[in-house]
Structure 1
Amino acid sequence: MTGAAASARGATIPAMTTPGWYPNPDGSNSRRYWDGQQWGQVDAPPPPPAKRKMPIWQKAAIGVVGAFVALAGCGAVFGDSEKEEVAAEGAATPTSTTRPVAATTPVAAPAAPASAAPTSAVPARPPVDYTSDPRCQPGEPRYDAMIGSGLLDGSLTLANTQMIIDDGVVFYGASTVRPDGKFENRSDVWVIDTIPYSSTGGARKTTSWSKASDRLRIFPDDERIQAVDNCVANLTRN
């Protein structure tokens, strides 16, 4: 733009030579560029107002105030809720002016006496038959001496002697007694055929005579041995 054109629009030349945007010399709310000698032809809108930065302390104060406001709001909400709950509970709880009636304890009827359980009688044990075999007869001293000569313990003696003679063979039973009068064996049996032979277990342990089962083939379960053994045992029960 020339100086004449500027004058025609009523513009004035600024008193500065530094190029830049300046308020429009025509007085409008715009800006015009000054190149250091003359005005330009294009107007520019006015610059936006500069934003003022908020100080940090002011931001912190606003945050603290906001926090207090939020807490106050929460307290108001919860306080109202608690008041509503209390009011609801009070409304739901009925009040009664009726005087309570004392509870009566029922009296239990006397129990019927327990009937005694029936007791079954224990059957009596049948009497034990201690009857001795009629074939048994008292022993003789000569047989006592014969068997006693084979006793391993010389302090033992024979007592309660009983014998059964069958077909020339003597089945001889006796108790072996210690010096204090107590039994070493209540009843033992020997078989005499010329010489004695031990038959029962006690006879084999207390005398040195050979086993009758080996020499004579007469075993401890022979009924004659069982019979004379029972005769001796019956004498010890008297």
Structure 2
Amino acid sequence: MTEQLPPGWHPDPEGSPQLRWWDGTQWTSQTHPTETAPNKKMRLWKALTLGAAGVVALWVLVAVILNVTGETDRMRADDAAKAAQSASAAATTSPSTASSTPPPPVTPADRTTSAPAVPPPVAAPTSSAAGGLPAYVPPPPDEDGNPPCPLPTGWGVGATGSGVMATVWTDGPAAVSATVRKTSGEDEVQPATIKSGQDLHEFDFPSIEESSVKEVLINTPTGRCYATPDPETAALGH
């Protein structure tokens, strides 16, 4: 018996490097990229930053341990020198008190040696590799069949703390627009032209309250998608 696929995003049966939506009975026309270049760069940068911070912390800990160990050895050497000076002075000023009987030989078992201080083991710093991050699972299409926009395109509260802002990432020059669909049924549209070499554009809607937003749609030459509500993503440009 053939196992029935659950509704969701699955590898495209046509062989394209994208995900295709299976509604439980058939494959639809909605597709979604498996991963975006800006998102990969952000995850790799975070992994490298955590790794560098771990290496710096390790070197600082090793330097502290070596400094403490060296200070301990110097103190022991000073104590030994002072003890030797005291013994020599006592032997010089009181020769009559010296015993004629030679002291017994010192056996290896009688010798006490102080073991050198060994620093405790230091755990190697851990870093999150880009491949170890959980895989991004895109949400399903909206009620009109529009697929979600590839990350990190998204929308959230504006940079000033009021209104809403949509952040769009794209490759190369293109004519794009953002449509804020309100719960009241009204739409507010802003067009823009992405220039060559520009991969980020911000659409600012200062007069629209976040609570009145039903959906934010992004229109590009390749089609329409809906931006996921993510305040951190919308503020990436600042």
**Structure 1 length-normalised TM:** 0.21
Q: Which has the higher contact order (CA 8 A, sep 6+)?
A: 2
Could you say which structure has the higher strand fraction?
2
**Greater C-alpha radius of gyration:** 1
